[in-house]
Chains A and B, each alone.
Chain A
Amino acid sequence: MTTDQTSIRALIALVREQYVPDSPTHDHSHLQRVANLSSHICRTEGGSILVATCAAWLHDLHREAGGDFFVPPEAMDDRARALMATSGIPCRLHKAILDAIHYTDRYSFSDRLPYEATAEARAVRDADMLDAVGAIGIARAFSFGGAHNIPLWDKPRSNGANASHRYIQSERPVSTIHHFSDKLLRLYSELETPTARRLADRRTKYMSLFVEEFKHEWCYDLELDALLTAATMGEE
């Protein structure tokens, strides 16, 4: 085994031992899938698999249990550096790994915008977004909602929500179904690598059909509700 392989193994063992996620959404299996997907993307698109794998295992330290609703990844730099040092990841790679971590949780429709980034950063961000769509994305979204007291669905509070509105990452979603249109269904157009886009295509369509089926089963007629509300207001 090379020195690099030994230190990656040490890092993974350390994260598994010390990182306690806020919810099953950001658990060790998520980190594992993001690591696998980012390596796959690096293999076809270029980029260091070593850097991408380390970043994947460290990218959700800001999702640690007990923290605020949303802490930006940059806030965890010291923790990430300490974990890398303990596991023997060479110092010359630390900056590239931190850069890739910082590039996650950035969306052009949000208050944290993407920018020109390295191949590894693009790979990890795309891999993270891939794991947020499809059947796994559905499972993770509702698990997050359950862990953070977010309802499955609720009547919209205002007409404010629409396809072009800005997604504020520190704001709690009205409901998990709102989170699909606010964020998850917008991820496909954020992907930067053709490899990720190919994988995301079917997953995104699957997710979109899920939302339709969910609303159909809900048995609640929003249009009828709007008519009744209008009629009641007319009487007053």
Chain B
Amino acid sequence: MTNDLIQATAEHVQSLMQGEPTGHDWWHVYRVWQMAIRIGNATSADITVVQLGALLHDIADWKFHEGDITIGPRQARQWLESCQASREVIDHVCNIVTCVSFQGAGVPDTHITLESKVVQDADRLDAIGAIGIARTFAFGGARGREIYNPDISPRLHGSLRSYQANSSPTINHFHEKLLLLKDRMNTTYAHEIAVQRHQYMTDFIEQFHREWRGEL
């Protein structure tokens, strides 16, 4: 039953997200799923709930639904109910889907369970490193944002509303979000990977600025 439910959920999510170009696509979910299994196995988390939470965490991201943050958990619940999952599993997974989204530098994380921490770590690891770089520029490109503008400084957003309204150049996004994630990892296992990916992004930004100045 458990493996069937995970398999069916994977297929359901894949069919919904196929071809979405900005990095919130099926492959993002796939990587978060795989990473969540690795982190989950390094902790005492319930691996079934971790997998379902990872698979459903982006089912309806607020960034693509005019800022409505309730649509994700609602769609996750509908799907799990249609699969006759137990009430306990449904509530737990929907809680994960509600918790994982990053809402701005000054907005604290709310967590109830270890499983939700594991999925959030996996999701955040996918936002940093080389893949984070790729996804960030793809998102900026889809929104027509400038790559870099020395006249516009990064700002740390104190509220979800301010973070959602942001349209600054993509390089600023590294300072406004991506470089903050390393210190917001919940598990030791994810933190260790985050340290390496953080360093990778720092090197990238340095190289970017060198090239921007016309040096090597």
State whether the Cβ of B142 lies closer than 8 Å to any Cβ in chain A: yes
Which of A36, A138, A206, A219 is the one whose CB lies under 8 Å from B137? A138
Interface hits, A102-159 → B, CB 8 Å: 134-136, 138-154
Which chain A residues (1-58) contact chain B, with CB distance < 8 Å? 23-25, 27, 29, 33, 36-37, 40
Q: Does A203 contact B (CB under 8 A)?
A: yes
* Residues B138 and A145 in contact, CB atoms below 8 Å apart: yes
Contact yes or no, B27 A213, CB < 8 A: no
Interface of B is mostly: helix
A70 CB–B CB distance under 8 Å: no
Shortest B27–chain A CB gap in Å is 7
How many chain B residues touch the partner (CB < 8 A)? Answer: 43
For B130, give its contact among A23, A134, A150, A210 (CB under 8 Å): A210
A203 and B208 contacting across the interface, CB-CB below 8 Å = no
Check if A163 is an interface residue, CB within 8 A of chain B. no
Whether A36 pairs with B21 at a CB distance below 8 angstroms is no
Number of residues from A at the complex interface, CB < 8 A? 42
B170 cross-chain contacts in A, Cβ below 8 A: 24, 139, 143
Instruction: Please state if A144 and B216 are interface contacts (CB–CB under 8 Å).
Output: no
Contact of B204 among A135, A141, A144, A219 (CB under 8 A): A135
Alpha-carbon gap, A214 to B130, bound state (A): 5
A-B contact pairs, 23 of them (CB 8 A): A24-B147, A25-B141, A36-B214, A40-B214, A139-B148, A140-B147, A143-B141, A144-B141, A146-B21, A146-B22, A146-B141, A148-B141, A149-B142, A151-B27, A152-B25, A154-B27, A203-B216, A210-B133, A214-B134, A217-B31, A217-B130, A219-B30, A220-B34
